Amino acid sequence: MGVYRKNGNWFIDFYCGSKRIRRMIGPSKRLAETALKDAQIKVAKEEYLGIYEDKKITLKDFSKEYLDHMKKRLDPYNYERCQGIVNSHLVPYFTKYLSRISIKDVQEYMTIRLEKVQAATVYNGLEKLDRYLRWIC
């Protein structure tokens, strides 16, 4: 995280939530430092940066739309399995906004699920979560 120079231009590098953001500012180091401070203040205040905006939707709210989409793509047996994983395991555990789900949350979910089921079952659920997050972003 910080200010760095590359090919004659200054860049800023910072995190907004769990998302890393790198932007070219221009030939002025002072301007890059000012831009970085401004971005860090906006991140602290949770203001819109014009770069990254949270999508305020939970997994539960999004699951109906996602499952409707998957119903068209999967055969009935696999759709029921997908629906079961989403509604029984993912939705109850991931209650925060989709944009706020972090790697730590996923690792905690894996740890809890691995105590009850085999690894293949856990990874099947994580595959559904991965598709969820890729589909919405």
Integer CA distances (angstroms), 132 to 7, 29, 121, 127, 128, in order? 38, 40, 17, 9, 6
> pLDDT value at position 48?
57
- The mean pLDDT of 100-104, rounded to a whole number, is 84
Q: What's the pTM?
A: 0.56
> pLDDT value at position 54?
53
- The mean pLDDT of 78-96, rounded to a whole number, is 89
Using DSSP, state whether 29 is helix, strand or coil.
helix
Angle at 110 between CA 108 and CA 116, to 5 degrees: 115
As a whole number, the mean pLDDT across the chain is 84
pLDDT per residue over 37-81, tens digit each? 988 888 777 665 555 455 578 888 888 888 888 888 889 998 998
Angle at 21 between CA 93 and CA 24, to 5 degrees: 170
